[in-house]
Structure 1
Amino acid sequence: MGDNTTHELDSVGVWGGGFTGGLVGGIAMGLVLHLGANQIELLGGLVPGSETALAAGWTFHLIISVLFGLLFAALASRDVVQELVETFTDYVIVGLAFGALLGLFAGGVLFPVAMAGAGVETLPLPFLPLPGMAGELVSALLFALGHLVYGLVLGAVFAAINGVTPAAVERRVPLER
C-alpha cells in the first residue's frame, strides 16, 4: 500500500482484522504483563469462582482483548478514520493511540470496577520484585507498556489482514492489484 493509493476495507477484513489483531495483540500484551510481574495472575484473582488464577486471568484477558479488537475494527473502519489512515504506519499509530486510551480506561474504570465487584479494596502486590512504591511504579509502567504493545500489534495485524503492507515490504515485493 503506497502513499498514493487507497484501500477499500471489506467486512471480512474489518472483523477478521479486529478479531485476529485483538487476539494476537492480547497474547503480546499478556506476555508483557505475565513475564514482567505476573499481572495476568492478578487479573485472574478478580474473576469470581476461578480456581486457577493464571488460567482464569489468561482466559479473561484474551476474551477482553478480542472484544476490544472488534471495537478497534468498528472505529478504524469508519469513514472519518479512513479519510486519515492510508499507510501501514498510520494503522500502527492509530493502534498505539487506541492502546494508550484503552490503558487509561482500563486502569481508571474497568480495573476499579472489577476490584469492587470482587470485593477487593487494594491489590496485593507480592509478585513484584521491588517492595512498596517502587514496586507499584514498576507495575504501573508494565501495565502502560502492555497496552502500548497491544495497540501496536493490533494496528499492525489489522493493517496486514486488510492488505496494507509496510512501505519497505512493498518496495521489495510489489503486489499485483
Structure 2
Amino acid sequence: MSENTTHGIDSVGIWGGGFTGGLVGGIAMGLVLHLGANQIELLGGLVPGGGTAVAVGWTFHLIISVLFGLVFATLVSRTVGQELLETFIDYVIAGLAFGALLGLFAGGVLFPVAMAGAGVETLPLPFLPIPGIAGELVSALLFALGHLVYGLILGAVFAAINGVTPAAVERRTPLKR
C-alpha cells in the first residue's frame, strides 16, 4: 500500500514546518553533540560575546538550526521538490540528505571560517574521553551523526506538519467523511 500522495502545502505549513522541524531537529542534534563529546561548548567558545560557552553554544546552534530548517522548507516546497516528494519516507530521505550535505558544509566551510574569525588554528579537544586521533575520530563521527539526526527529524516533522503521514498511520486512521 502506498503512502499519502495527495498533499498540499501552504505557506503556514512551509514556514511552520521549517521552523518547528529545524528547532526540534536542532534540539535532538544538540543533545547528540552535547552529550556525546560536549561539542556545543566548543561551538560556544567560537562565538564572540559574553556568557558561558554552553549557553552561547546552545543559543547559536538553535538559531542556526531554525534558519537551516527554513532553507529546507524553501527547497522542498518548490515545484520540483513537490514533484519528487510524495510520501513521508520521501521527506525523511530528503531530510537525511539535507542533514548530510549540511554536515559537510558546516565541517568544511562554516566551522573553519568561525575558527579563523575566533583566531583559532586548531581545535582544543580536552573534553573528549579518548585522547589523540581516536578522540578526533569520535568527535567527527558524533558531528556526522548529529547532522543525520537533525535531517531525519527535520524531514519527519516537516512532513507531519504538512499532513504527510506514514503509511502505517494512514491505514489506522478512520476515513474522514
TM-score, scaled to structure 1:
0.97
What RMSD in Å do the two structures reach over aligned CA positions?
A: 1.1
Unaligned runs of 5+ in 2: none
1:175 Cα deviation from its structure 2 partner: 4.8
Query: Is contact 2:19-2:70 (8 Å) kept?
Result: yes
1:103 and 1:162 map into 2 onto residues whose CA distance is 25
Please name the residue that 2:132 is paired with: 132
Contact 1:44–1:50 (CA under 8 A) maintained in structure 2 = no
C-alpha contact 2:41 2:54 (8 A) present in aligned 1: yes
- Alignment-derived partner of residue 70 in structure 1: 70
Contact 1:97–1:151 (Cα < 8 Å) also in 2: yes
Structure 1, unmatched stretches of 5+, are none
1:159 is aligned to 2:159:
yes
Task: Confirm or deny: 8 A CA contact 1:99 1:150 kept in the other structure.
Answer: yes
Structure 2 residue aligned with 1:121: 121
Please name the residue that 1:84 is paired with. 84
Instruction: Return 5-14 or 152-161, whichever deviates more.
Output: 5-14
CA distance in 1, matches of 2:166, 2:38: 33
Q: What residue number does 1:58 align with?
A: 58
Question: What's the counterpart of residue 45 of structure 1?
Answer: 45
Separation of aligned partners in 2, 1:86 and 1:175: 20
Map of 2:145 onto structure 1? 145
Q: Secondary structure at the match of 1:80?
A: helix
Structure 2 CA distance, aligned partners of 1:5 and 1:89?
Answer: 11
Q: 1:79 is aligned with what amino acid?
A: T
- Aligned pairs, number: 176
Which position in structure 2 is the counterpart of 1:30?
30
| TM-score scaled by length of structure 2 | 0.97
